[in-house]
Structure 1
Amino acid sequence: MVAVFAPLAGLLLGFLDFVWIKFVPAPFGGLGNSIAVWAVAAFLLTYYRRWAMGPAIAGAVIMLVVAVPTYYVAATLIQNDDWSNIGAPSSVLWMGLGVVAGVVFGAGGVLARSPGRLRRPALGLPAAVLLAEIVLRPDGLAYTLVLIGLAVLITVLAGRTGRDRILALAWSVPLGALGYLLMITTAFRGL
C-alpha cells in the first residue's frame, strides 16, 4: 500500500499546493506556501494510514519528495514557469528537507497513535510546527490566527480525549520553540 498510496499522495500534495497558492486569497492562501503544512501532511498521512514505523517513515518521505517536482510541474503547466525549475538546486534542497521532515513527522504520526510516553508529545507535533512557522514567517495577524486555528483543529481532531488534546497543545509550545530553533539553523530559514 505504501508504494502506491504515498506517491499518489505526493502528486496530489504538490499539484494542489500550487493550485492553492495560485487561486486561494490571503490569509488562507498563505497555507499553500507553508513548510509547516507539508510537515503536517506527512504527520496526518502516517497517523491515519496506520502503517508500521518503517513503512510510515518511508511513505512520508516518498510523499514529500514526490510533491516537490510535482509542484514545479504544476507551476509550469499553470503559469508557464520554466521546466528547469524541477531540477534546480533549490528543488533538490527542498527534496532533501522533505526527507528530514518525512522522517520526523512520519514517525510522529505513528507515535501519536501508539501507546506510551511519546504519544502526547508526538500528537503535539503538528501544532508545534504550525506555531514555529508563526515566528519564522510573521505574515500578519490574520495569517497568524489561521495557523493557530489550524493547530488547534488538528490537535482536536487527532486527539482521542480532552486530556490528550490539552497535553498535546501544552507539548506543542516547547516543541514549537525547539522546531523554530532547528528551522533557523537549517536551510528552511532561507526558503
Structure 2
Amino acid sequence: MTTVDREVQRRHRVLTVVAGGVLLGVVDLLLQLGLPYPWANLANSSAVWAVGAFAIGWWLRADWRRSAFAGIVLLVVAVEAYYVAAVVLLDDSAQNLWSPTTLMWLFFGVLAGALFGVAGGLSRYGQPWVRAIAVAMPGAVLLAEAAMLFHRSAQPGHDSHYRTDSLQTAVIEVVLGAALILVVGRTNRVRLQALAAATALAVLGFAAYTIAGFGS
C-alpha cells in the first residue's frame, strides 16, 4: 500500500467515525421520540452509547491511541449532533449546544469514548487476559446500567409506570450484555472469561454510575 493509499484510507476512516457520531446522535433522538417504552429508554441509554464507542474501536483495528481518539470523536460528535437535531426538530434553544448539561455529557463522552474505544481495539488483539477483559466491557456497562435501573426503580417517589419501564429496560440490557459477549468473543474460553470479568466490572460500573449521580 502506497503513502497516498494510506492517506486516503485514513481520511475515509475519519469521515466514517464523524458520520457515525452524527448518525448516533440524530437517530438516538428520533428513536426516543418514536419508540414506545421501554425501548425509548434503551435508545437514550448512556451504556448503548458506550457500546457504540466500543464498536468503532473494534471496527477500526488500530492501536490503542487511534482507537481511543476514534471513540472520543464518535461520542463528542454524537452529543452535539443530538442537540442540533433537537434544535431543528423540536425547536429547542441553540444555547443547549454549550449548556452546562451538554458540557457534562461531552466530558463523559471523552471518558467513555477513550475507555471503550480502546477496549474495542483490544478485543481483537493483545494478551489473552487483556482480550477477555476488553470483550467483557460492552456487556459490563450494560449490566451496570441495568443494576442502576433496578436500584433506581426500587426507590420511593416513582410511579408504577416508571418502575415497570425501568425494570423492563434493565432486563433487555442484561440480555443484550450477555449476547454481546457471546458475539464478540471468538472462542468459548474467551467468552467464559469475559462473562466472569463482566460481572466484576459491572460492580465497578454501578459504583461509577452512583458516584456520577445517575442512581437517584
Using structure 1 for the length normalisation, give the TM-score.
Answer: 0.93
Counterpart of 1:154? 180
**Shift of residue 140 of structure 1?**
3.4
SS in 2 for 1:175: helix
Q: Which residue of 2 aligns with 1:169?
A: 195
Question: In 1, distance between residues paired with 2:166 and 2:40?
Answer: 13
1:166 match: secondary structure: helix
Q: Which runs of 5+ in 1 are unaligned?
A: none
The amino acid across from 2:172 in the alignment is V
Alignment-derived partner of residue 145 in structure 2:
133
Of the candidates 13, 29, 32, which is equivalent to residue 43 of structure 2?
Answer: 32
Q: Confirm or deny that 1:17 pairs with 2:22.
A: no
**What amino acid maps onto 1:178 in structure 2?**
L
When the two structures are aligned, how many residues end up with a matched partner?
190
**TM-score (norm. length: structure 2):** 0.83
Corresponding position: 1:119 with 2:139: no
The structure number with the bigger radius of gyration is: 2
Percent of matched pairs sharing the same residue: 34
Q: 1:190 Cα deviation (Å)?
A: 7.4
Q: CA RMSD in A?
A: 1.6
| 2:149 and 2:170 in contact (8 A); partners too | no
Amino acid corresponding to residue 135 of structure 1 in structure 2: A
Contact kept in structure 1, 2:146 and 2:171, CA below 8 Å = no
- How far apart, in 2, do the equivalents of 1:39 and 1:7 lie? 16
Matches within 5 A, 1:21-60: 21-60=32-71
User: What is the alpha-carbon distance in structure 2 between the residues aligned to residue 190 and residue 155 of structure 1?
Assistant: 25
Pairwise CA distance, 1:35 = 0.7
Q: What runs of 5+ residues in structure 2 fail to find an aligned partner?
A: 1-9, 151-164
Cα distance in 2, alignment partners of residues 26 and 96 from structure 1: 28
